Amino acid sequence: MTDHEIAEDLSVFLSKLVKENVKIKAIKLTRWHLDEHSFGSYSFCKGGDAYYDKIKVFKTPIDNKIWFIG
C-alpha cells in the first residue's frame, strides 16, 4: 500500500472508533524491512519498575495529538 492509502484506511478506522470524522493531517511511515541498514529493527522496554514509568511517559499526550509509534 502507498502512504496515502494507509492514511486513508487509518482515517476510516479512527472515524469508526470515535464515531466522528477523523482527518489525518500528516503521516510518516517507515519500511524497516526494506532498509538495507536495519533489516527490521525493533526496540522494547526492559521490565521492572522503570518499565511502568516509561509507559506513563508514552501515554502522555503531546500537543493534544495522537501519535502512533512502534
**What pLDDT is stored for residue 12 in this prediction?**
94
- CA pair distance 27, 67, nearest whole angstrom: 10
**Single pTM value for the model:** 0.55
**What pLDDT is stored for residue 41 in this prediction?**
65
Q: What angle do CA 31, 27, 24 make, to 5 degrees?
A: 140
Residue (of 15, 43, 10) closest to 28 by Cα position: 10
Sign of the CA dihedral 4, 5, 6, 11? positive
Q: Where are the domains of the chain?
A: 3-59
**What pLDDT is stored for residue 8 in this prediction?**
93
Taking only the tens place, the pLDDT of each residue in 17-61 is: 999 998 888 888 888 778 788 776 667 777 777 777 877 887 788
